[in-house]
Structure 1
Amino acid sequence: MYAQSQLAYAPTPYSYTPSTNLTATINLDQEVKLADNAAERDLYESLAEIYSIIITLDTLERAYLRDSIKECEYTEICDRLLRQYKSHLADETVLAAFRDLESFKYEWDLEVPKATERLRIGLPATVETAPANSHLHQRPVSTTSASFGGIATTSNTGHVNATHIVSASENFITLFDAIKMNMLSKDTLHPILVEIIQAVNKVTDRDFENKGKIVQWLITLNQMRAAEELTPEMAREVQFDLNAAYDGFKSVLE
């Protein structure tokens, strides 16, 4: 009997001859360049940074919901990530390649619901809602009464409520003045609205009437490009809604 030689591969019922046309023609030890020039390299690096920001933000949001991170640390990191995300997309070339968040998520198979919601709102959760340790009802030991924008304020050396009340009122008035002067671009109104929500949250943690309108318009503006402007109809709606929110804010101070 003759020993049968071992086949190098499993036999098949059909004869098969490997095609040399399918053989790799590149040197596998040679580095493959993804970009042909500096502009392409910068674009890919920006898209990679955006991908990393989205993943990190989703993880951060989950950590915050599990109470695994301090509020102050969460706020600082979240705010930085949101600013970095916006900064990358301020480049028209990057924005064109990115298209929009849903398209980017689909292309790279991203499942990031928490990051998606935070990017939609454009604010840390701690800024969107008032902190639980805000106490408007505290009474100062010694006070001096003043009035600003129709709001009676109270100031003293040991309490800062009056400062926050004045700051909130000033920001409301600044917004109304900007609309009257037809300054309706996102990059003008969005920072003012951020200042408003931050200021009112420092004054009170109560969910006063029409406070949600401030957040709704923040979300609307956050979806717009920096140079994009509100239509005259939208401007009138903003003024109406924020007037109602201002009245609601003043009502909690009475």
Structure 2
Amino acid sequence: MYAQHQLAYAPTPYSYTPTSSLAATVNLDEEVKLSSNSAERELYESLAEIYSILVTLDALEKAFLKDSIAESIYTETCSRLLKQYKSNLADESVARAFVDLDTFKNEWDMEVPRAMERLRIGIPATVEAPSHRPSSQVPGAGAAATHIVSVSENFITLFDAVKMDILSKDTLHPILVEIIQAINKVTDQDFENKGKIVQWLITLNQMRAAEELSPEQARELQFDMNLAYDGFKSTLG
């Protein structure tokens, strides 16, 4: 019988013993910096925030579909996340690094289909297609009249902007959001060509802030919005 020498570690085909020369070049106590200057650090922080927004928004959409969150809380939270997303991408360096939503999602291997769809549309689901309100929550005559006036004013503002060739996304998109929100305060029923408002919201939402509609698109927008306005007026009886 002989004494066996016990190994200090379990050998494997890939066992590795560090050399003194390599160990001398690696300082395990040294902090590894992801950025070399403040501009890079801010860029990485913005991209990390976008990642967080996508994950949070996807979870929020799931909760809303399962009726696990109140509509008011969903609307407020979703609107805030959409604004934060747009605010981050307003920085040109962030937008360049981001490239586009599909590229970012693929680069970081993200599975956030509901968030992708919500960002594509650009407005909360409660604004896009409001649920039916109980009769006890229907606005009174005075409130309804105020909202009807708001719808008309916003349509007129949109028509005036198109006539004056003010065709940038950052001008037209907020007006369309105001239109659909005011309409939803008057009625939760679909009407002829209401869907065109949402479709133009999606089109504008996919443009950059300073990007403008072409003359052809401007004519199509005005034509479609005239139809939508007529459809809205037909619901008033």
Give the TM-score normalised by structure 1. 0.86
Q: Deviations over 1:138-196 (max 9, x none)?
A: 796xxxxxxxxxxxxxx5xxx31111111101111111110000000001100000001
Which residue pairs with 1:143 in the alignment? none
Q: What is the aligned length?
A: 234
Which residue pairs with 1:114 in the alignment? 114
Cα RMSD (Å):
2.2
Q: 1:228 aligns with which of 211, 216, 223?
A: 211
Equivalent positions of 1:102-251 (< 5 A) are 102-133=102-133, 159-251=142-234
Which residue pairs with 2:64 in the alignment? 64
| Distance across 2 between alignment mates of 1:9 and 1:30 | 27
Q: Deviations over 1:66-113 (max 9, x none)?
A: 111111111111100100000000000000011111111111111001
Q: Deviations over 1:12-51 (max 9, x none)?
A: 799x885737658321222111110110111111111111
Give the Å deviation of 1:207: 0.3
Which residue pairs with 1:97 in the alignment? 97
Higher helix share: 2
**2:27 is aligned with 1:27:** yes
Change (3 A) 1:13 1:36: closer
Q: 1:214 touches 1:245 (CA, 8 Å); kept in 2?
A: yes
Q: 1:134 touches 1:205 (CA, 8 Å); kept in 2?
A: no
| Distance across 1 between alignment mates of 2:186 and 2:13 | 81
Structure 1 unpaired stretches of 5+: 141-154
Which residue pairs with 1:145 in the alignment? none
- The one-letter amino acid of 2:69's match is I
| Distance across 2 between alignment mates of 1:139 and 1:113 | 35
Give the Å deviation of 1:131: 3.9
Which residue pairs with 1:74 in the alignment? 74
| Distance across 2 between alignment mates of 1:59 and 1:202 | 27
Give the Å deviation of 1:132: 1.5
Identity over aligned pairs, percent = 73
Runs of 4+ in 1 over 6 A off after TM superposition: none
Structure 2 unpaired stretches of 5+: none
- The one-letter amino acid of 2:169's match is K
Give the TM-score normalised by structure 2. 0.92
Which residue pairs with 2:236 in the alignment? 253
Which residue pairs with 1:148 in the alignment? none
Change (3 A) 1:55 1:4: same
